[in-house]
Amino acid sequence: MKLYYTPGACSLSPHIALLEAGLPYDLVKVDLRAKKLENGEDFLAVNPKGQVPVLALGSGELVTEGPVIVQMIADQAAAKHLAPARDSKERYKFLEWLNFITTELHKNLGPLFSPVLADDAKAFFKDRAMSKFKYLDGQLAGRDYLMGKEFTVADGYLFTMLMWATDRLGFDLSGLPNLTAYKARVAARPKVKEAMTKEGLLKAA
Summarize pLDDT for 56-78 with one digit per residue, the tens: 999 999 999 999 999 999 999 99
pLDDT given for residue 55 in this prediction: 98
> At residue 203, does pLDDT exceed 90?
no
- Taking residues 8-23, report their average pLDDT: 98
CB 26 within 8 A of CB 3: yes
Contacts of 112 (CB under 8 A, 6+ apart): 122, 125, 126, 129, 169
pLDDT of residue 205: 67
For the CA atoms of the chain, what is the radius of gyration? 17
Mean pLDDT of 168-187: 97
pLDDT at 105: 98
Q: Tens digit of pLDDT for each residue in 97-119?
A: 999 999 999 999 999 999 999 99
Whether the model clears a pTM of 0.85, i.e. scores above it, the answer is yes
Q: 3-state SS string over 31-97? A: ECCCCEECCCCEHHHCCCCCCCCEEECCCCCEEECHHHHHHHHHHHCHHHCCCCCCCCHHHHHHHHH
Residue 16 phi/psi, 5° resolution? -60, -45
The whole-number pLDDT of residue 204 equals 77
**Distance between CA atoms of 196 and 187, rounded to whole angstroms?**
9
What's the pLDDT band for 93 if we cut at 50, 70, 90? Answer: very high
Whether 148 shows a pLDDT value over 80: the answer reads: yes
**Residue pLDDT, tens place only, 38-54:** 999 999 999 999 999 99
pLDDT > 70: percent of the chain: 100
- Strand, helix or coil for residue 183: helix
Concatenating the DSSP letter of every residue in 146-169 gives TTBSS--HHHHHHHHHHHIIIIIS
Q: What gap in Å lies between CA 20 and CA 194, rounded to an integer?
A: 10
